[in-house]
Amino acid sequence: MSSLASPEYGWWKPFPRHEKLWLIIIGVAAVLLSIITIVWAVSGKQNVPVASYNVTPAAFEKQVADFTAKHQIPGATGEVRVPPGEDAFLMANMWSFSPVLHLKAGQPYTIWMSAKDVLHGFSLAGQNLNLMIAPGHAYGVRITPQGPGTYLIFCNEYCGLGHQAMTGKIIVE
């Protein structure tokens, strides 16, 4: 019998002992992993964002502009202070994130993000939070900043020649 030649007639035989054992080990592993995954999804504290809505890039741009105008920090163009309890909006476009968000430590926020032009990615440096941002979809990310500081946002999906310089900021007060 060889992998390189047709087997002789009658090759469809019951599995020998070893193969039965392998199949049991593999089957148990696959079933256990699946059960853990489902239990974890239902009752664990998974925090992958689930909220999203469809929005045209132009409509989202207007939402961001209205939000920015409403909460603009006097004297600091493009920076907003988000009152706790209100949703924040963040737009990704070639090659920046806007506006700069000022958040309060310990307060939960939902940040809605979408893209104006091409696919982008949202990464929060040092925090291991990586998400996709697509034009046409707004993604609602729930975060609770833990401590004050300036956090770097950078783009994680290749979006053209300015990609490596595409950054934004979240300032936690």
Tokens of 43: 């009752």
Q: Which of residues 34-63 bind other proteins (CB under 8 A)?
A: 34, 37-38, 40-41, 44, 46-50, 52
Q: Is 128 exposed, middle or buried (0-12, 13-18, 19+ CB in 10 A)?
A: exposed
Residue appearing with tokens 């946002």? 153
Interaction between residue 129 and other proteins (CB under 8 A): yes
Query: CB 108 → other proteins: shortest distance, Å?
Result: 17
Contact between 74 and other proteins per CB under 8 A: no
Q: Which range binds other proteins by CB under 8 A, 69-77, 83-91, 101-109, 111-119?
A: 111-119
CA-to-CA dists, residue 98 to 15, 122, 153, 157, 166, angstroms? 61, 12, 10, 17, 11
Euclidean distance between CA atoms 90 and 138, whole angstroms? 10
Give contact residues for other proteins (rule: CB under 8 A): 1-9, 11-13, 15-16, 18-19, 22-23, 26-27, 29-30, 33-34, 37-38, 40-41, 44, 46-50, 52, 114, 117-119, 121, 123, 125-139, 152, 154-165, 167
